[in-house]
Amino acid sequence: MNNIVDDDERVNKNNTTTILKKENEPNPLGLTTTMVSSPIEGEFVNGAVTPPIKDGEQQQQQQQQPLTKVESFNNTNTTTTTTQPIKKVVTESKSTKFTCKITNFSQKTSQFYTENYTLWNLTWRLYIFPKGNNSDKDMSIYLDLSEIKQNNVPSIKTSFTVEIMNQKNPEKKVRKTADHTFDSRSGDWGFEKFIEIATLNDPEQGFIVNDTLIINVEIPYVYSISGGIATYDSKKVTGFVGLQNQGATCYMNSLLQALYHISPFRQAVYELPTSSEEPTKSIPLALQRLFFKLQFGDKAVATKELTKSFGWDTLDIFTQHDVQELNRVLCDNLNDKMKGTKAEGTIDHLFRGKIKNFIKCEKVTYESKSDEYFYDLSLNVKGCKDIIHSFDKYTEIERLDGSNQYFAEGFGLQNANKGSKFLSFPPVLHLHLKRFEYDPVKDENVKINDKYKFPEILDLSRYLDVDADKSVSNVYILQGVLVHSGDLHNGHYYTFLKNIDGEWLKFDDDEVTKSNFERVSENSFGSDFGVRTSTRDTNAYMLVYFRETEYERLHKPILESDIQPHLRSRIEKEENSANEQNFNIRLTVDEDFSNHKAFDLLEDDKFPIKTFKKSADVMTIGHLKKQITSLLGIPQERQRLWSWTMRRNKTIRIEKYPESDENTLQSIKAKMPMQGDIRLHLEIAYAPRTVPTTDNALLFPPMPRDRDSYALVFFKFYDPETKTLSFMGSKVIDINAKASYYIPHLNQLVKLHPTTHLLLFEEVAPTKINPIRPCDTFNRLEIVSGDIIVFQKLVSSPNNYSLPFATDYYNYILNNTIVKFKQIDNSSVQFSLELSKQMKYSEITAKIAATIKANPENIRLMCNSRFETPISPIKPNDNIPLFDMLTSANRITNQLHFEILNIPVKECEFKRNFKINWKPSSFGLNHNENEIVSVWVHKLGNENEIIQEFLNSIKNDSRYQTQSGITDATTENNENNNENNVNSNNNNNNSLENINENNIRIVEIRGCKISRILKEDSISTLGESSILRAEPVQSDEIELKDNEKIVQVVHFSRDYGYNMYHGTPFSFLYKPDETTQSLRSRIYEKLSPSGLSQKEFSRWKIAIIRYEKADYLQEDGTISTIDWSSNHFIGLEHPNVNKSHHQQKAIKILG
């Protein structure tokens, strides 16, 4: 996944567009020509944008979209260089820091370079903009590498930290960190908004003292990059390798690395019996193989075997789940697999702790205690400055008094103290930091980015109960920090872990780098306050602590001899047979381009795949040609292969020169780091059979020595009458010839008279279609192999055509797109429309309305999430074009959702929408399915208006207007979802004409519990995404007898030591002094219409839940008087059989 960059923007200093000169064009000053330009569309490299460049062409702006990270070339006349040669592999340096002391800082009124500093045998300096760069509010700082401007110098990959010291209070220093690859195009990198200028210059702040500014720079490592392929070797540098990311599995990778670094856990996994199992069907075997390759491999390990053993499909792989949830589910699965084996009990021994929950009365001798096991702890971040405050909050005493008194058996209501104390902590302590919490104002979960500190040494002794075993040390050493960068919807996980020597390492998917605790804290403590910086969304999400006294045992090395022989031999055999495996190459021929009607020659995902067999240890183009002969029947001498490449302007073209027979496939793949696979184009010689095949010059001009005088170009023909663009073939041309020389050949391709006048264009980029004059030579036009020439007939009357010229056609396809529309709540309505990317909201809804025969004013558009599901409505603003609507979550989609409202969309601005679930049969109507009624009420309205609008909606529904009387609810069809369909047979007063605000109850459901009953309060605190449900009020619930009360019944299960609520709760009449059997009978009467059998219901336990503690009822007992509060309800404990139906898809592991 792409790392998410802070808003302060780590960027190149210039934000410029550069006009490149052709390699052989004279440039006496040796300078590049630079002009200031607006941000441009280009290729993303390391999170920045490189300009779309074609030799000799000035780039044009494609989209007026703000891009703040723009790479550019340096103006070399402002840069000094050194004569010191750079080494191929950069050697380690003892010093990794330097300090710049800038005196007379107030006199620095324009940008300046600091003096040079040498680290890692390279020359570094800072480039400082004291008055800001592109901003007059913030100072900008960039790190500059001098040697990178020299010729033939490899790119340099590094990470660096820039720190402005606070000379009055060192703790208030400002630090920023960046990762970057320095190359000839980007010789400096840094921070456009480092610190607010007003804050920096404020003498009270302490950053400038005696007109002196002190800046520290740390560069912990540097690695050379050769030919675009990083020579950085994680295994060689750190001793560890990473894990490949399948799509959105970075969260899994971070957890697996953390578990791998727990030696007893890894040893237990190795000890599981797996000799007769298959890795894609066995979690233990797949995990064994993954751990083995992490331990003994030298490159990043694939995780596909493991996810297949989980039973995951593509959606699971591209869904980012919760690390804590995956940890619980995986360890629970392994714990079951370990039973009856040598590894049994490992999970409990490593991760299980024990806590005591108590409620102790103040004035009577009564205490309620319960012990629970835990495998991780969830700690509050909001309102807590560090981990100590979180533990204080976790164990703080809550006083139960006033209306919240505790009911003590035999003593009645009493003042009491409720709290928790730890009885034991485990050797490995997993602490989950609650970074995501529900925000009632936004009515959604939000990420908490507050600064939160945690120490390397943590003493938890103070939190132990008096009865706990004090002989065991409870001092812990920080072992790992799992970090989340991003927000609730989009983000990236990586982890910091210690090796056996106590050195910090950063595990970021397939890359492992060295680190230190300063970098760990910089990346995981979260946002600081005071000095203004941009919003930080990178912070710790989960901490791993090792018990100090068991630190060495938990890090104990595992030898290869400790691993089961069958696993070692199995992997060794696979590695030996790897040399005999087949491999795929994406191979194109001219015929593959015939159906392509847009830019380039083929879409990126349409390159055909051909399978070849590895016939030699080192495969060459010559070897490949032999197999192409067998595969396609084309003689080797009539084959010429060209590599595909992506140019800087993001167009896909073949390379300038063909590949020689001696070139290895490995060297070709090394030139394609971004593509990940080998892509070749096969040029086929169709010369007459009479041509001697030994004379390669006759088959394939040019001769090798003349190759710079020839180019293989591709031709497209545009027909303005049919408005079509067609691929017509390729040809090797003499670049010294004039364009007019080939007009007869082009006419021949489309069967026109040889003297027909043609217009010629070069397809440079989607926004750049250049006219070609017939008198121009191809050399003057800088035509090289892979370029595309478009031709058309000369149009005598352009006004007779909607798209008379090829440039018009390209502009049309650039600004038009086919959009797929899906109707919400009606999946059968799906269709596609070709629309202009500049089309307005009202124009789009008019097109939809014409297609489905609806009122366009009532159609509301919804934007998409990264998984093509609707997430939020688009405001009906005609200033927002279609292109912006299709751009969501940093990606462009071709799909939009829409819904048909019962009010005009423009009225939504003044109203709020709520959706109410109800079941007509529970109100005596002959309709068995659950339904949703959408109601709109004024933003300043109250909850009673929701009830009135609901009643109006159902009474105006023609399906129910003809119904009267009562339909027996027991006639409804049985359904599988037992607890989600609650009805009652006591519906004597609930026919349609009798339904009113007095016998209907609308409740809000949150967390599978009823949070409140809607009455006459303001709707300001009610979120539009709230789950509302309509219930009938039974006749015996209208006038309650003494001590009777309407309470709620919830469904729950006891997972991981605490209540896990599920299903749909319902209101229920509590009767005091009722027997348990009578209560069970009345609850079953509510549930039986849904198809729940008496046998199944008899397995369910009934409990009275008070403040999350479940007191189970005796089946032969009687329920005494209960002082009901909002935290008291009746609970039905039974397994959750409908987990897969949750709106938030849970992690599944099937193996």
Query: d(Cα 1102, Cα 1132) in Å, to the nearest integer?
Result: 5
Q: Which amino acid belongs to residue 280?
A: T
Two tokens at 494?
A: 């990586």
Nearest to 608 by CA among 596, 625, 621, 620: 596
User: Any idea what DSSP says for residue 852?
Assistant: H
Query: d(Cα 1050, Cα 1043) in Å, to the nearest integer?
Result: 21
Which alpha helices (DSSP H) does 402-550 contain, by range? 517-524
SS3 call for 459: strand
> Which residues are registered as beta bridge partners of 445?
438
Residue 1138 C-alpha from the chain's centroid: 27
Give the catalytic positions in this structure.
250, 492
Tell me which residue has tokens 């402005």: 164
Two tokens at 810?
A: 């390209």
Q: Are 287 and 38 in contact (CB under 8 A)?
A: no
Tell me which residue has tokens 């807590």: 384
Query: d(Cα 597, Cα 606) in Å, to the nearest integer?
Result: 13
Query: d(Cα 596, Cα 1094) in Å, to the nearest integer?
Result: 64
- Element of type H or E holding 228: none
SS3 call for 628: helix
Query: d(Cα 814, Cα 763) in Å, to the nearest integer?
Result: 13
Residues 271, 273, 279: CA angle, nearest 5 degrees: 105
> Which residues are registered as beta bridge partners of 588?
681
Tell me: cis bond preceding 702? Omega within 30 of 0 counts: yes
Query: d(Cα 1084, Cα 1081) in Å, to the nearest integer?
Result: 5
Query: d(Cα 400, Cα 362) in Å, to the nearest integer?
Result: 10
- Give, in order, the Cα–Cα distances in Å from 890 to each of 69, 176, 299, 865: 14, 24, 30, 10
Count of beta carbons in the 10 Å neighbourhood of residue 241 = 22
Nearest to 1021 by CA among 1090, 953, 941, 1113: 941
For the chain, report the end-to-end CA distance as a whole number of angstroms: 27
User: Any idea what DSSP says for residue 741?
Assistant: G
Q: Are 1036 and 1070 in contact (CB under 8 A)?
A: no
- Give, in order, the Cα–Cα distances in Å from 740 to each of 357, 772, 777, 783, 978: 90, 10, 9, 15, 79
SS3 call for 110: coil
Q: Are 521 and 455 in contact (CB under 8 A)?
A: no
